[in-house]
Structure 1
Amino acid sequence: MVHGTHNAIEDSRNKDIKIYINGEFFNRENAKISVLDSGYLVGDGIWEALRLHHGVLVFLKDHLDRLWQSAATIGMTFPFSREELIAEVWKTLNVNNMQDHVHVRIMITRGLKKTPSQDPRLTISGPNVVILPEYKKASTESKEKGITLFTSTIRRGSPDYLDPRLNCHSKLHEVQALIQAIEAGADEALMLDIHGFVSTCNATNFFIIKDGEVWTSTGQYCMNGITRAKVIQVCHENNIVCHQKNFSLFDVYGADEAFVTGTFGGLTPVTKIDGRQIGEKPFGDTTRILSGLYQSLIEREVQNNG
């Protein structure tokens, strides 16, 4: 079994899910996009991931804000409103009779091309919209075990050529970083920014704990994580000191605890980085407290929107 932050408990229902493509539903084996799609040809597309908890799409406004910001960044105009898109998401969830422990991936590409090309003027259709829901419950065993990281030589990009905050289909540099980590025997990759400071991981955001304080990167070169923002929020709400600052591997190797954050896994502890043990136990006390506070924030969201 592949070990990492996206480990999910096997669920046989996923074999029979219906996947939304441009207003129609398809079984998994028949859900297809043309080879002339912009996303396939040149990675010209954006995506968003949502979690369904007890019938509520958690932190929905934050995710929609990020999706619309991504569209504006790449010059894509949606032919639908936020309300219309979410109506299609709910249609997809209802077709699949889904209520809880569901991960929803929304993928929107610029559309079909007349011929293989980067040029957006050769797009001959509106955006292609895919909504892929799956029953995905994070593995408690994996969370308790924690993950290991390896620092990749692949750096997080500068905002002036591919802003790391953009949730786009162009993820090859992150895949390269992950391959380096896997070949080094780790679960996932830690990535530095262009100045050599710790930035983020290949698919999650990174935090350390030193002397009771929570540290994470400045945010200038890391993914625009919703869960990252919520962890910072719960720290402020509970008088836990949280710094967004530059720090290096020197600080990381001497950290008391480390963890990563993501929409699917929430908070996942990190046990080793570059072969060095972090902390005295797999799931540190402060990380566990923060994980509980984050879960309480989700429960509050469900109560307020249920």
Structure 2
Amino acid sequence: MNMQYYNQDTYIYLNGDFVKASEAGADLFGQSLHYGYGAFEGLRAYNTHHGIRIFKAEEHFDRLQQSCEAIHLPYTWSTQQLMDATYELLEKNNLRAAYIRPLVFSGPNMHLTAATTANIMIAAWEWGPYLGQNLLRVCTSTVERPNPKSFPVEAKVSGQYVNAILASNEAIKRGFDEALLLDQDGFVAQASSENLFIEKDFKLYTPPLDQVFPGITRQTVIELCKELHIDVVEKKLSIQDVLEADSAFLSGTASEIIGIKEVNGVTYKEDWEHTIGASIQRKYKKLVLEEENYEVII
């Protein structure tokens, strides 16, 4: 599981400059380190026949700004500025296909007050699909998705991902690949860091946005379904709905589109290759590689 994210030649972008990752210092008195008070994003760059393309870069950096605003973290950068810097970062590190991690973190402050200063770091490294390529064995977690009244669940906030670590770690210890988290009312919300779709009677169903993270890949799946004339219904899903589905899959930038083999030991009978999810998986790969001209904005 451990991997080397950088070496002595790797550059990161830090507050307007490109610096060696091995030489970048960290402030040990910041709220981000002590309290998880920071926001981040995950993007992917693909090596297409048109050159290096970051998929939906504008949407990701816009969402980074929205996440910072949701937790009152200063945000002073433009989307275009950060997009340009990221392409330059990829070039400096000679990366054609990569996972990209921008992080906004606070300046030194030990009080539980809104930050008055913030920094931005962007890193990139080669990273295959986060959950691998094989169909997943998934279980429901004893860890619940945070209550939206206690936390802005629509924001990609660093501290919130302790919740994801706990759920994912529990699933792996039980012999599964990933966890499904329920909301405070007992409905299925999402996986630890991916959105969930289930297929039933040639339709897709996915939990509504009020309890889940507004994934950009989730939205891309919905857009692709419109192109393919596949019905997508956003509704609250019980664990029974998930167990009785014909098939299911997860979506996320790091994981892309990945099918589920079983949930809580119940195996889906539908052959994955014949499911809507598999069709979406193939269309998504062609989309990010710019092999087909969809009306989805990249």
Cross-structure match for 1:119: 113
Query: Equivalents in 2 of 1:233, 1:201: separation in Å?
Result: 21
Distance 1:261 1:248, change over 3 A: same
From 144, 158, 161, the counterpart of 2:147: 158
Query: Equivalents in 2 of 1:274, 1:297: separation in Å?
Result: 32
Preserved contact between residue 62 and residue 79 of structure 2 (Cα < 8 Å): no
From 248, 251, 263, the counterpart of 2:253: 263
Cross-structure match for 1:18: 11
Shift of 1:239: 0.8
Shift of 1:28: 4.2
5 Å-filtered alignment, 1:98-247, equals: 98=95, 100-113=96-109, 116-120=110-114, 126-138=117-129, 142-143=132-133, 145-170=134-159, 171-247=161-237
Answer yes or no: is 1:53 the counterpart of 2:46: yes
Query: Equivalents in 2 of 1:255, 1:52: separation in Å?
Result: 33
Question: What's the TM-score once normalised by structure 2's chain length?
Answer: 0.88
From 281, 285, 294, the counterpart of 2:275: 285
User: Which structure: greater helix fraction?
Assistant: 1
Amino acid at match of 1:148: R
Distance 1:282 1:239, change over 3 A: closer
Shift of 1:152: 0.8
Query: Equivalents in 2 of 1:257, 1:279: separation in Å?
Result: 8
Residue 130 of structure 1: SS of its match in structure 2?
strand
Preserved contact between residue 21 and residue 130 of structure 1 (Cα < 8 Å): yes
Q: Deviations over 1:180-217 (max 9, x none)?
A: 21221111110011111111010111111111111110
Mean CA deviation greater in 162-171 or 130-139: 130-139
User: Which stretches in structure 2 are left out of the alignment for 5+ residues?
Assistant: none
Query: Equivalents in 1 of 2:168, 2:182: separation in Å?
Result: 13
Shift of 1:139: 8.1
Answer yes or no: is 1:35 the counterpart of 2:28: yes
- How many residues are paired up? 290
Preserved contact between residue 248 and residue 260 of structure 2 (Cα < 8 Å): yes
Cross-structure match for 1:296: 286
Query: Equivalents in 2 of 1:201, 1:68: separation in Å?
Result: 24
Preserved contact between residue 189 and residue 202 of structure 1 (Cα < 8 Å): yes
Shift of 1:27: 3.9
Shift of 1:301: 9.1
Preserved contact between residue 208 and residue 257 of structure 1 (Cα < 8 Å): yes
Shift of 1:63: 1.0
Distance 1:110 1:93, change over 3 A: same
Cross-structure match for 1:90: 87
Residue 198 of structure 2: SS of its match in structure 1?
strand
Residue 89 of structure 2: SS of its match in structure 1?
helix
From 73, 78, 87, the counterpart of 1:76: 73
Mean CA deviation greater in 56-65 or 235-244: 56-65
From 261, 264, 282, the counterpart of 1:274: 264
Mean CA deviation greater in 18-27 or 245-254: 18-27
Shift of 1:96: 1.1
Shift of 1:169: 0.5
Preserved contact between residue 272 and residue 278 of structure 2 (Cα < 8 Å): no
Question: What's the TM-score once normalised by structure 1's chain length?
Answer: 0.86
Query: Equivalents in 2 of 1:102, 1:280: separation in Å?
Result: 33
Query: Equivalents in 1 of 2:105, 2:187: separation in Å?
Result: 32
Q: Percent identity?
A: 27
Query: Equivalents in 2 of 1:128, 1:204: separation in Å?
Result: 27
